[in-house]
Amino acid sequence: MLNVMLKKGQLSDVVKYAIIAMVIIGAQVFAWKAYTSVRDRMCRTEMDKFQIDLSELGKEIRFGEVAKKKVNVPCSADEIFFVDLAKDMPSGMFREKPIIENAVAGKADSVLIVKNGKVLRSFDAGALELEYPYHLCIAPRAGFMELFIEGKGAKTSVVPGCSEIECTEIPINPSDEDISGIIESFKDSGIPASLSDISSEAGRFRETLSRVNMFRRYQYCPDTGITKVEIILKPKQEGVKNFRFYEYIPKECVSSLNDYLTENLGSEAQIVRDDPLIMWQFSELGEEEKLNYKLDKKLTENCKEIIEGIGIARELPAGAAGLSDANEQQQPNPGPDTLQADAQSHEDDGIVLEKGDGTLYIDKPVCSSPDCVELADSNVEVPVSRNVEKIDIDWCCRRDKGACLVQAGNEIKTGEISLECGISEGAYGKTEFDFGEGKFIDKITFTGYEQGSDDARAVGIKVKRIKIKPSKENG
Say yes or no: domain 170-315 is CATH 3.30.70.580: no
Tell me the mean pLDDT in the region 213-231: 94
Q: So what's the pLDDT on residue 229?
A: 95
Angle between helices 198-209 and 176-189 (to 10 degrees): 120
48 Cβ contact partners less than 8 Å away, ≥ 6 residues apart: none
Contact 212, 285 (CB under 8 A): yes
What are the start and end residues of each CATH 2.60.40.1170 domain in the chain? 170-315
Edge-to-edge order in the sheet of strand 226-235: 170-171, 212-221, 226-235, 289-295
Sign of CA dihedral 256, 186, 308, 230: negative
CATH 2.60.120 domain extents, the chain: 336-470
Span 223-234, pLDDT tens digits = 999 999 999 999
pTM: 0.60
Helices and strands (H and E) in the chain: how many: 8, 24
Listed range (29-33, 130-134, 277-281, 405-409) with the worst mean pLDDT = 405-409
Candidate CATH numbers 3.40.190, 2.60.120, 2.60.460, 2.60.40; the one for domain 336-470: 2.60.120
H or E element at residue 437: strand 428-449
Q: What pLDDT does residue 410 have?
A: 31
Q: Where are the alpha helices (DSSP H) in 361-473?
A: 375-378
Residue type, 29: V
In this prediction, residue 392 carries a pLDDT of: 63
| CA-angle at 140, arms to 136 and 143, nearest 5° | 140
Does residue 133 have a cis peptide bond before it, meaning omega lies within 30 degrees of 0?
yes
143-199 confidence digits (pLDDT tens): 899 999 998 888 899 999 999 999 999 999 898 889 999 998 888 877 776 677 788
Nearest 5°: phi and psi at 397? Answer: -95, 120
Strand order across the beta sheet in which 66-72 lies: 66-72, 144-152, 155-160, 128-129
Helix or strand run (H / E) with residue 79: strand 79-83
* Cα–Cα distance for residue pair 25/40, rounded to 1 Å: 22
Q: What is the pLDDT of residues 379-394, one digit of tens each?
A: 445 555 556 666 666 5
